[in-house]
Amino acid sequence: MSKYKSQDTISAKEGRFFLDGIEMFNCVKLELTVEKDKAEIKRLGVRMTGHKTTGMSASGTVTEYHATSNVGLLFQKYKDTGEDIYLDGTAVVDDKSSGRGTERIALTGINFDSVTIINIDAEGDVIQDELPFTIEDFNYISPLNVTF
């Protein structure tokens, strides 16, 4: 018998994202991927290439409705002063209808890679911005129910 129930599946819509303590109400989607850096290990007499983890990196994208100039102003500050801004954030997944609990993940050292300054279109609908970023670190503040 499975220990998971269908109602425990988590809805992607039940998330929130806080950037420097302020909830991004115009956020449509948040995605973060962590990748291992690996060195190939080749040895005499062994036909398969081994792999040694040597580090990690993380990058992601925030998609938001264009409702503020906040990220564009970060880029302007860097352009004008040379000061690059690193922010901290918290991602929260809290589907009350699931029995899996609330997941909170802290993201530190968020640094945006690019921003579209102007995006107007006579045939367009609402403006959405895709904001790619990298982070310096992540930590689970409260993980979902741990099973191993």
Calpha distance 91→141 (Å, rounded)? 10
Q: What is the pLDDT along the chain (148 residues), one digit of tens a residue?
A: 567 778 878 888 888 999 999 988 899 999 999 999 999 999 999 999 999 999 999 999 999 999 989 999 999 999 999 999 999 999 998 878 887 778 899 999 999 999 999 999 999 899 999 999 999 999 999 887 766 5
Calpha distance 44→42 (Å, rounded)? 7
pLDDT for residue 45: 97
Which domains are assigned to the chain? 11-142 (2.30.110.40)
Q: How is the chain classified by DSSP, letter by letter?
A: --S--GGGSPPTTSEEEEETTEE-TTEEEEEEEEEEEEEEE--TT--SPEEEEEEEEEEEEEEEES---HHHHHHHHHHHH-----EEEEEEE--TTSSS--EEEEEEEEEE----S----TT--S-EEEEEEE-SEEEEEEPSPP--
As a whole number of angstroms, the longest Cα–Cα distance in the chain is 64
Give yes or no for a contact between 27 and 63, defined as CB atoms under 8 angstroms apart: yes
